[in-house]
Structure 1
Amino acid sequence: MAIPMLPTDIILVILKYIGVKDLMRLRQTCKDFLQITQLRTVWHELLQREVIERNIPIPRLGGRNLAALTVKELESCLADALRLRKNWISSSPVPAHSMTFQAVQEPQSQVVSLAFLPTRNRRCLISLSLRVADGHRIFTLQCWVLTSLPTCIARRTLSDFRGFRINTDPTFTAAVALRSSTGLEILAIDFSSSNPDSGFVTLQTLDNVDHSLQVFCGSMLLTKFGDARIGLRTVENPSFCMELQNPSHTEQNDFIDAIVTDKYAVIVRTATLDFYSLSSFRAGSAASVIEPITSHTWQWRIDSVSLAYQPSWETRARAEPPINILVRYASLFPWPVNALHHYVLPCDGTYDCRIDIDTHNKPYLAAPILIRTFASPIRLFARWDMVLGAYGTALWIDSHTEDYFDHAVEGQRLAGTLFTTVEDGAAVVPLDERGISATASMVYQVREDDGWVRIAIEEEEGEIAVGTSTAEITIFRYI
């Protein structure tokens, strides 16, 4: 005698409480369950619960809208996301593929900058290489499309180079800001060009801007002038520049990194973390200087820092996401302190996003919270680098290779960990009272010399790019 099935709507409610493995077992029991587990709503909800709400990136999505995907495509997205995450956060992630190519062919060249271009439907890498010829420094800026065989689609060779920045907002046509002695160029990338030498297209030239580039976000440019002064302008009105000043800190306090939006700017300097409201800047105020509405003084001077929002799948109505801050402090010696520190700038629960930011209505608290400290030794004069990803991965190069090469005088480790959310009950604790509390969770690669110089990370596709002192670039893919 056949056992009657529960109504489909009841079964769908039950399925909300089971995981992927149980769902796959259930669909093998009978035709009725097979049909139910092939419903689109089942996989859409499972993907939402198991991946999106856990802030797990979905590789190979290519900018497609989940609502437009078929049931098989949703199943594939879920499987790819979970498989990548399992490998990515294991103690020794294993690349599924890797490829190495030469950025430039000239001898005595090295990679000096490396970053994935934030695009929605292409995987692109921006590299900057340097070579010295007859006492002259020659730079090569390139954009690579990362297909099965990396292809250079845009290239500029520069003898008069003063810096560049990638636009962190992928919705804008402008992709790169490039500075020379004659001013600033705002560049787009022509992906249809058959000649790499014409792949960078000049959209705008800012002839009168002689400041050094620091941040390019959307239409806004953060630049440095004088010894350590910071100015903000837009490409639409480049002649209007507003200085972001901290008059309370009189000693040398140089810029290191920043997050800039149309509402605010978080500026990290060697001695302070300053938060600025940009309400007056947006309004076109006649004032030429903005002072921070909050400022935090670091316990020691900073050598390097990387900033990124904490991953958050939900759209918040009253708060910005907390900000992860990866810090390496400076020392009195010719190498930085052998530890990395994870801070979080937490949200201010009283913030109302519907009104302008000021001292009484601000999205973040003034003081970042120290979450944990990681051992990350660097040998004298050894190369190192660090970066934060959009999904919470902290990645760095250091000299901690004793576990692999005993006491060799050279060697590098490519290591990382995953930052999640602010720990409950976390409090501001002096650094000298906390000590080193953690080690790297993941060790991606090691090498027996000090050839790595720059790293870049693309978490959504599970990729890490590493540039070397011989102008080689290696892409590791973990799915």
Structure 2
Amino acid sequence: MPHSRRTYAHPTRSIRKRYHRDNPIRTKSDAKRSEADLEIEIKQMQDGRESNALSVDRRVSLTTLDEDVALQIFSDLNVEDVISLRKTSKDLTILSRFRTVWHNALISNVLSQNLPIPSLPSPFPAFKSLPDLQSLSSEELEILTRESLAVRDNWTSPAPTRTFCARLRTKVMRLLSVTFLPSPSPLGPDTASSSSTSAHAADYSQGRPNSEWLSGRYFVTFGYIAEGLYSLQIWDAEAVLDSSSTSSSTDRICRNDEEDPDNIKLVGEWLGSGRATGLAVCNNVTADEGTLNGFCSCYQDRQSSAQRSTLRIFSFNPHRQDIHDSGVYSREDSLRALRSVTLARPVTLVALTDSRVILQLKGIDVADEFLLLVRDWRTGWTTNNDWEAVLRPSKHGMGKTILSIRVIHDFIVVFRESVVDIYFLPSDFNLPGDATDLSEEVPSYVSVDGSPSSSPRYAPSPSKVHRILLRPSASHKWTWSLNSLAVTERYSWYHERRQASCRLCEGTTKFASGRSCQCVYRPLSLAVRFDSYFPWPVNLIHHFVVHTSPEFDPSALNPLDFAIPINGAPHSNEEIAPCSPFVLPPQNTYTIPSSVRLFGRTALVLGSHGTLVWLDSESDYVPLPLLHQGSADRMAHASAAHNTDEGDEQIETEGYAFAAGTGERIASIQIPLTIPLSGDSQTTNTNSGKEPLVPTSERVLPSLIAARSMEGWTAVATDERAGRIVVGDSEGFVEVWDYY
């Protein structure tokens, strides 16, 4: 068969043929018009072929683009892609080291995702003071970004790797509480919040300097040495890392001895007698006083056999001048008692601010039970015009136990086991003299009032004090009673930036009347366990978010609007419209399975960046290589075995460790600040307008911190910026675990 040659029509001829088929010519004018249109179409086709040929020859890439265009492309890449492009060519290496690239990377990958910036010892000053981002170099921004993402990956991994662990013995026989001391902020009383959350957020969002020491360095332990004798101790977890040292955290030795390790030092201690009835910590704003610690104890008077209470306010600051001169720690100088007051009735200390103390009344009158007393501890009990405010619970909160209290600027948020009450009481409010119909004179219940040191005593307290009763400005009743609660003021990058550009207060956070602007309030995160009909709580942890209200206007508020008249009913004016910077009810965002057996212990701790750490009884599901062995070498060996094939075989052959009814674990999870919305909505209302939702990970699983076959853990505390978890047990031991 002869070879047949295939012929191809000329492209111009094919276009003409197709065009005449689709556009039949009827008149001469149509023929002229169609011929002109046909020439235009042929010309466009030829120009397109030439441009395609030129584009292939040029081979456009990132290196041939304009510098501004290439930097814009870099700003849309994640950190891993930037590092990968850096290895491809010399030109991209230069572009990847531009300061603009890492400034945008820090904002888009860390700050806007509400991730904590680690407090890492480093030769770069950015890790210690975190000044304005504009003062950081490109190298500092890159290290800050990459370290933040690296520690985030380890912090949220299924089995985080510890960089340091230590076990120390305290004086107490049974440890009751462990609390981190917040870093004092030198922002001044006009800008600093009573909680540590806003101070940390302002450090690296508005260019303000950080505190005198790193976050999570000092923690407080409390417990009983013997019956009627208690001990309050303050520990330095970074004693070997001096502020002038440039060594990294990897230089620390991982120990697990029963003796006190060299890395952790006791820097403050207070011994007292009686029955402890409250411990509170406050972040003060003055550089000399440092962090404030309040402690209350109850004892029985031997002469009158009456129950009395002693309230003490301590100031802790390890960087006072006398300590710097000596070069060594002095427990007496670092922990000082600022105020000591003896009350002639039993009370419980529930909250402490830089100027006020909140006490829960007990014992004398049934009508006074579960009332909250607010006094000025600096000038109260010493002046003739002394006054106090009593916070009366709502009708659903009468007789209910108080779980937590947060003082947030001008509002006091009280969390009871069945209700949330919000009270409006600014820190600068003073009772006017003409408010006779809203106040009454009552006994002050003060028997002794003086300075705890050898300095001259304070003036004696008056026998009468003016009292004002306040009702909640807003309230919410839970469907079920709460068993345990953890609450924190969340850090939000969008709130911080919008606060700096707020038009209502012009960035001052205050109105002319002295009230705090609505831009200073942040969403609240709640982690709760509900009660059940059984002797143990519900085996679920619910996470709620209380967002701020965009319609809230605090400029014209007056606390007397919420005062209860002397002759009025206790709940006579509760029908007034609620007024609060927070939107109630709280929105449920996450539900986490967590089992607690009968007589099992549980504890909840929630960080300002969304890290939830809890103690439960789910040790039955922990593989053997992840068990807490009580020795640093064994833990390292178990961790190494877990990452190998041998470790996987051990899990399959030996199964799970504990029989039902034994063991305990500590777990954590990172919860983003978001509210699930239905439909196509991509924003949620906040006090600053519309805030973009943080995308939720498809696989949000808890991280196993530790587990063991025995029981005894009683308290847990965490600090996200330091990457540190401190755990106390019933035998008086404290374990410190670092993950950064």
Superposition TM-score, scaled by structure 1 size: 0.88
Residues 344 and 164 (structure 1 numbering): CA distance in 2 closer, same or farther, change over 3 Å?
same
Aligned equivalent of 1:337: 538
Residue 374 of structure 1, CA deviation: 2.5
Per the alignment, in what secondary structure is the counterpart of residue 387 of structure 1? strand
Report how far residue 364 of structure 1 moved. 1.4
State yes or no: 1:199 paired with 2:341: no
> Is the CA contact 1:92–1:444 (under 8 Å) kept in the aligned structure 2?
yes
Map of 1:29 onto structure 2: 88
Q: 1:280 to 1:69 in 2, by over 3 A?
A: closer
Q: CA–CA distance in 1 between the matches of 2:390 and 2:418?
A: 18
| Distance of 2:175 and 2:295 partners within structure 1 | 17
Closer, same or farther: CA 466–215 of 1 in aligned 2, 3 Å: same
1:230 corresponds to 2:386: no
Aligned match of 1:129: 223
State the partner residue of 1:395.
Answer: 613
> What is the RMSD of the two structures over their aligned residues, measured on CA atoms?
2.8
Q: CA deviation at 1:283?
A: 4.5
Match for residue 450 of structure 1 among 689, 693, 711: 711
Aligned-partner Cα distance in 1 for 2:373–2:524: 22
For residues 246-270 of structure 1, the C-alpha deviation after alignment (integer angstroms, 9 at most, x for no partner) is 2523742221112112311111112
Q: How far off is 1:198 after superposition?
A: 4.6
Q: Distance in 2 between matches of 1:361 and 1:292?
A: 9
- Three-state SS of the structure 2 residue aligned to 1:43 is helix
Contact 1:351 1:362 in 2 (8 A): yes
Query: What do residues 224-281 of structure 1 show as CA deviations (whole Å, max 9, x unaligned)?
Result: 1132111222333334321111252374222111211231111111221111122597
Q: 1:399 to 1:27 in 2, by over 3 A?
A: same
Distance in 2 (CA, whole Å) between partners of 1:373 and 1:326 is 9
CA drift at 1:470: 1.4
Higher mean alpha-carbon deviation, 44-53 vs 208-217, is at 208-217
Does structure 2 conserve the Cα–Cα contact (< 8 Å) formed by 1:145 and 1:153? yes
Q: 2:108 aligns with which of 42, 49, 52?
A: 49
Kindly indicate which of the two structures has a greater share of residues assigned to strand.
Answer: 1
1:79 aligns with 2:146: yes
Q: Which amino acid aligns with 1:215?
A: A
CA contact (8 A) 2:620 2:659 kept: yes
Are 2:484 and 1:304 aligned? yes
Which among 657, 662, 681 is matched to residue 410 of structure 1?
A: 662
Letter in 2 for 1:328: R
Partner Cα distance (1:21, 1:81) in 2: 13
Report percent identity of matched pairs: 25
Contact 1:220 1:235 in 2 (8 A): yes
**Quick check: 1:62 aligned with 2:189?**
no
Deviation at 1:69, TM superposition (A): 3.2
CA deviation map 1:378-436 (0-9, x unaligned) = 2222222111111111111010111133424320011122222232337xxxxxxxxxx
> What's the secondary structure of 1:142's corresponding residue?
strand
Aligned residue pairs total 463
Match of 2:266 among 152, 156, 169: 152
> What SS does the aligned partner of 1:23 have?
helix
Q: Which amino acid aligns with 2:377?
A: V
Q: Residues of 1 paired with 2:613 and 2:394: CA distance?
A: 34
Shift, 1:298, TM fit: 1.5
Indicate how the Cα distance of structure 1 residues 247 and 414 shifts in structure 2: closer, same or farther if over 3 A, else same.
closer
Question: SS at 1:62's partner residue?
Answer: helix
Please give the alpha-carbon distance, in whole angstroms, between the structure 2 residues aligned to 1:439 and 1:253. 35
Shift, 1:200, TM fit: 1.2
Structure 1 equivalent of residue 193 of structure 2: none
277, 285, 294: which is aligned to 1:171? 285
Instruction: Looking at secondary structure, tell me which structure has more helix per residue.
Output: 2
Give, in whole Å, the separation in 1 of the partners of 2:73 and 2:81: 12
CA distance in 2, matches of 1:198, 1:401: 44
Instruction: Map 1:100-111 onto structure 2 (within 5 A).
Output: 100-104=167-171, 109-111=173-175
In the TM superposition, what is the alpha-carbon distance from 1:333 to its structure 2 partner? 4.4
Instruction: After TM superposition, give the deviation of residue 452 of structure 1 in Å.
Output: 1.0
How far is 1:177 from its partner?
1.0
Q: Which moved more, 1:370-379 or 1:407-416?
A: 370-379
Q: Distance in 2 between matches of 1:374 and 1:246?
A: 31
Distance in 2 (CA, whole Å) between partners of 1:290 and 1:281 is 16
How far apart are the structure 2 equivalents of 1:103 and 1:321?
Answer: 37
1:220 equivalent among 352, 356, 364: 356
- What letter corresponds to residue 727 of structure 2 in structure 1? V
> Which residue of 132, 138, 159 maps to 2:229?
138
1:367 equivalent in alignment to 2:585? yes
Shift of 1:174: 4.2
Provide the residue aligned with 2:675 in structure 1.
Answer: 423
SS at match of 1:371: strand
Query: Could you tell me which residue of structure 2 aligns to residue 94 of structure 1?
Result: 161
User: For residues 492 and 156 of structure 2, what CA distance do their matches in structure 1 show?
Assistant: 18
State the 1:349 CA deviation: 2.7
| 2:178 aligned residue | 114
The one-letter code matched in structure 2 to 1:62 is K
Distance across 1 between alignment mates of 2:313 and 2:426? 25
Asked if the contact 2:394–2:472 (Cα under 8 Å) also holds between the matched residues in 1, the reply is: no
Contact 1:100 1:474 survives alignment (8 Å)? yes
Where does residue 423 of structure 2 map in the other structure? 276
Match of 1:290 in 2: 470
Deviation per CA, 1:48-69, whole angstroms, max 9, x where unpaired?
1110110111112334324443
Does the CA-based 8 Å contact 1:279-1:356 persist in structure 2?
Answer: no
Q: Deviations over 1:70-98 (max 9, x none)?
A: 33222221121111111111222222221
Q: Which runs of 5 or more residues in structure 1 are unaligned?
A: 427-437
| CA deviation map 1:271-314 (0-9, x unaligned) | 21111122597243554111112211111222221111233013
Quick one: structure 1 residues 268 and 112, their matched pair in 2 at CA, closer, same or farther if it must change by over 3 Å?
same
- Residues 356-385 of structure 1: CA deviation (Å, up to 9, x unaligned): 388465311232223333322222222221
Partner in structure 2 of residue 476 of structure 1: 737
Give the direction of change, closer, same or farther, for the CA distance of 1:139–1:197 in structure 2 (3 Å limit). farther
Look up the SS of the partner of 1:51 in the other structure: helix
Instruction: Report which stretch shifted further, 302-311 or 24-33.
Output: 24-33
Q: Is the 8 A contact 1:118 1:170 kept in 2?
A: no
> CA, structure 1 residues 75+89, in 2 after alignment: closer, same or farther (shift >3 Å)?
same
Aligned to 1:429: none
Quick one: which of 545, 552, 570 aligns to 1:351? 552
- The answer on whether the counterparts of 2:234 and 2:268 sit within 8 Å (CA) in structure 1 is yes
Tell me how far apart the structure 1 counterparts of residues 108 and 490 of structure 2 sit (CA, whole Å): 19
1:433: which partner in 2?
none
Tell me the distance in 2 between the aligned counterparts of 1:353 and 1:48.
31
Q: 1:166 to 1:372 in 2, by over 3 A?
A: same
Contact 2:291 2:317 in 1 (8 A): no
Picking from 252, 262, 282, the partner of 2:409 is 262
For residue 36 of structure 1, give the secondary structure of its aligned residue in structure 2: helix
Alignment partners' CA distance in 2, 1:243 and 1:45: 49
Structure 2 CA distance for partners of 1:30 and 1:403, relative to 1, 3 Å: same
Indicate the structure (1 or 2) with the bigger Cα radius of gyration. 2
Q: Distance in 1 between matches of 2:273 and 2:64?
A: 75
Question: TM-score w.r.t. structure 2 length?
Answer: 0.58
